[in-house]
């Protein structure tokens, strides 16, 4: 059994990816049977019901194995969902790579952690390490000798140059560019279209060209 945690747009895309992987010869067991979410419970996506998390867990038979895909963009929410369900040994977290992703398939050249999803049109070159529960969305590129931490999200069209180190829980908005030989600290947020030209050493929201930390006034 396979289920998708999430019920918004990215969850729909992951459902499509699983269907495409099945058509390309992947296991039928990977096809999602339902979506798990808090919004629109009882409604259907592509014919599959949206279920409440607790209700779904209560229906599981003892020892029944469930392949779980966490398909939400927010790194914080991804981690929260994982922390909630990792206590149940029945859940396993497959790594999903769309069939037409380009990457160095030689052993050890591209390492991708459990629960991560690499979407259509993306290119991962060589000597890359990607952590667990990372989303590499549509048409991203990741250059050589890069490292990306757990629970990160790369939105569509993100370009990461070579020798870049990205910490855990980082969100990078659509079309952002990270120049070579830079580091980004844990839990940073890079805005859509931003160009990161210097290493980011403290959490915050970074926007613009070149990317600068956004000063948020709290009243």
Active site residue ranges: 144
Contact in structure between 124 and 110 (CB atoms under 8 Å): yes
Cα angle, residue 12 at apex, residues 8 and 13 outer, rounded to 5°: 120
Contact in structure between 8 and 70 (CB atoms under 8 Å): no
Query: Environment class of residue 166 by beta-carbon count within 10 Å: exposed (0-12), middle (13-18) or buried (19+)?
Result: buried
Distance, C-alpha 64 to centroid of its chain? 25
């Amino acid at each position: 059994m396979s289920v998708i945690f999430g019920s918004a747009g990215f969850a729909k895309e992951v459902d499509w990816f699983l269907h495409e992987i099945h058509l390309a010869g992947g296991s039928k067991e990977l096809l999602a049977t339902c979506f798990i979410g808090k919004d629109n419970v009882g409604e259907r996506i592509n014919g599959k019901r949206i279920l409440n998390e607790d209700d779904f867990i209560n229906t599981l038979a003892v020892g029944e194995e469930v392949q779980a895909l966490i398909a939400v963009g927010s790194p914080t929410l991804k981690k929260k969902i994982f922390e909630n369900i990792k206590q149940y040994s029945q859940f396993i977290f497959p790594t999903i790579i769309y069939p037409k992703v380009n990457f160095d398939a030689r052993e050890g050249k591209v390492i991708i952690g459990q629960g991560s999803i690499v979407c259509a049109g993306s290119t991962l070159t060589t000597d890359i390490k990607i952590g667990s529960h990372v989303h590499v969305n549509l048409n991203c590129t990741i250059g050589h000798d890069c490292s990306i931490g757990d629970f990160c999200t790369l939105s569509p069209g993100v370009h990461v140059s070579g020798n870049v180190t990205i910490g855990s829980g980082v969100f990078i908005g659509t079309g952002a560019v990270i120049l070579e030989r830079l580091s980004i600290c844990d839990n940073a947020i890079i805005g859509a279209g931003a160009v990161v030209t210097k290493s980011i050493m403290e959490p915050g929201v970074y926007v613009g060209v070149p990317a600068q930390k956004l000063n948020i006034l709290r009243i």
